[in-house]
Amino acid sequence: MNIIEKTAKHIARKAVLTESDWMDLMAATDAVETTQGQWQHPGRCTVIPSGQITMRSVPYRVLAFDETGHTKIMHPEQEYAFPGRRVFEIPLNGQQQTLLMQLQNKLRSWREL
């Protein structure tokens, strides 16, 4: 199973990403772990080592999920709390379009079964 399928299963709460899966996802998406997230790395996938996320001064939406599978689309100028201790962010601003389409297609194929 590839990392896109594993991530889609995590988002759909059909499975939980292992620590190794998190590392594979970070490598596959060239993500960076940072407390500054989209402020410091706009448009890039990031991992925030906290469940508390602010979208202040971030001008685009971000798909976010924590290690428990809790997933949200975060909107500009809002505050978010996740039950987990780290949050993976995928910007919805165009740079990550291929990744987002792959995840969406995998999730859609499961709904059609």
Query: How many degrees, rounded to 5, is the angle at CA 49 between CA 6 and CA 65?
Result: 35
Say yes or no to pLDDT of 113 above 60: no
16-72: per-residue pLDDT in tens? 999 999 999 999 999 999 999 999 999 999 999 999 999 999 999 999 999 999 999
Residue 84: inside a domain = yes
7-16: per-residue pLDDT in tens? 999 999 999 9
Residue 113: inside a domain = no
Residue 93: inside a domain = yes
Residue 65: inside a domain = yes
Residue 112: inside a domain = no
Cβ pair 44, 91 in contact under 8 A: yes
Which residue carries 């590392």 as its tokens?
A: 23
Residue 12: inside a domain = yes
Query: Cα separation of 109 and 107, whole Å?
Result: 6
Query: Cα separation of 78 and 39, whole Å?
Result: 14
Number of domains in the chain: 1
Tokens of 73: 């689309």
pLDDT at 25: 94
Structural domain harbouring 97: 3-107
Residue 98: inside a domain = yes
The predicted model gives 74-102 an average pLDDT of 92
For the ranges 4-8, 78-82, 92-96, the lowest mean pLDDT is seen at 92-96
